[in-house]
Amino acid sequence: MLALAFSAAMFGIDGYVVRVEADSSAGTPGFALIGLPDRALNEAKDRVRAAILNSGFPYPPGKLLINLSPAELRKGGPAFDLAIALALLAIDERVDRLALGEYVVLGELALDGSLRAVSGILPMVLAAKDAGFTKLIVPRGNAAEALLVEQLELYPVDSLTDAVAVTAGYGAKWRAGAAAAPSLPPARHPDFADVRAQVAAKRAFEIAAAGGHNVLLVGPPGCGKTMLAQRLVSILPAMSRDEALEVTKIYSVAGLLNTGCGIVQQRPFRAPHHTISQVALAGGSHRPGEISLAHHGVLFLDELPEFQRSAIEVLRQPLEEGRVTIARAAGSFVYPARFTLVVAMNPCPCGFRGSRTHDCRCDDAAIAKYGGKLSGPLMDRIDMHVEVAPIPLDELIERRPAETSRTIRQRVEAARLLQRERYRKTPISCNSAVPSNLTRRYCALDESSTALLLQASTRGYVSARAFDRITRVARTIADLAGAAAISREHVAEAIGYRGVERLTNRVA
State the pLDDT at residue 503: 46
Total domains in the chain come to 2
At residue 330, the pLDDT reads 65
Give dist(CA 388, CA 198) in Å, integer.
Answer: 7
Residue 171 sits in the same domain as residue 307: no
Could you tell me if 311 and 387 lie in one domain?
A: yes
Q: Domain check: are 163 and 225 in the same one? A: no
Q: Say what the pLDDT of residue 188 is.
A: 67
Q: CB-side exposure of 417: number of CA atoms within 13 Å? A: 9
Separation of alpha carbons 92 and 77, rounded Å: 26
Q: Could you tell me if residue 165 is inside a domain?
A: yes
* Residue 259, number of CB atoms within 10 A of its CB: 13
Provide the domain limits for residue 78: 2-179
Report if residue 416 sits inside a domain: no
| Residue 336 placed within a domain | yes
Nearest to 191 by CA among 387, 386, 407, 341: 407
Q: List the pLDDT tens digit at each of the 508 positions of the chain.
A: 789 999 999 888 889 999 999 999 887 888 999 998 888 888 898 999 999 999 999 999 889 999 999 988 888 888 999 999 999 999 988 999 999 999 999 999 999 999 999 999 999 999 999 999 999 999 998 998 898 888 889 999 999 999 999 999 887 777 655 444 444 455 567 899 888 888 899 999 999 999 999 999 998 888 889 999 999 999 999 999 889 999 999 999 888 887 666 788 889 999 999 999 999 999 887 789 999 999 999 999 999 998 998 898 899 989 988 899 888 776 788 899 999 999 999 888 887 887 777 778 888 888 888 877 788 888 888 999 999 988 777 666 666 778 899 999 999 999 999 999 999 999 999 999 999 889 989 999 999 988 888 887 776 656 777 888 999 999 999 999 999 999 999 999 999 898 654 444 444 4
Predicted confidence at residue 230, as pLDDT, reads: 94
What phi and psi values does residue 332 have, to the nearest 5 degrees?
Answer: -105, 130
Q: Please list the alpha-helical segments (H only) found in 322-446.
A: 364-371, 376-380, 393-396, 405-422, 436-442
Strand-pair category, 2-11 with 14-25: antiparallel
Are 164 and 227 members of one domain?
no
CATH number where 172 lies: 3.30.230.10
| Three-state secondary structure call for residue 269 | strand
Q: How far apart are CA 420 and CA 431, in angstroms?
A: 10
Task: Tell me the H-state helices in 322-371.
Answer: 364-371
Q: Please tell me the pTM assigned to this model.
A: 0.87
d(CA 107, CA 255): 14
**CB-based contacts of 385, cutoff 8 Å, min separation 6:** 215, 216, 218, 379, 497, 498, 499, 500, 502, 503, 504
Q: What is the pLDDT of residue 505?
A: 45
- Based on the domain organization, do 158 and 239 belong to the same domain? no
Q: 261 and 222, same structural domain?
A: yes
| 111 plus 196 within the same structural domain | no
Question: Per-residue b/e over 42-79, b at no fewer than 16 CB within 10 Å?
Answer: eebbebbbbbbebbebeebeeebbbebeeeebbbbbbb
Is residue 429 helix, strand or coil? coil
Phi, psi of 7 (to 5 degrees): -135, -160
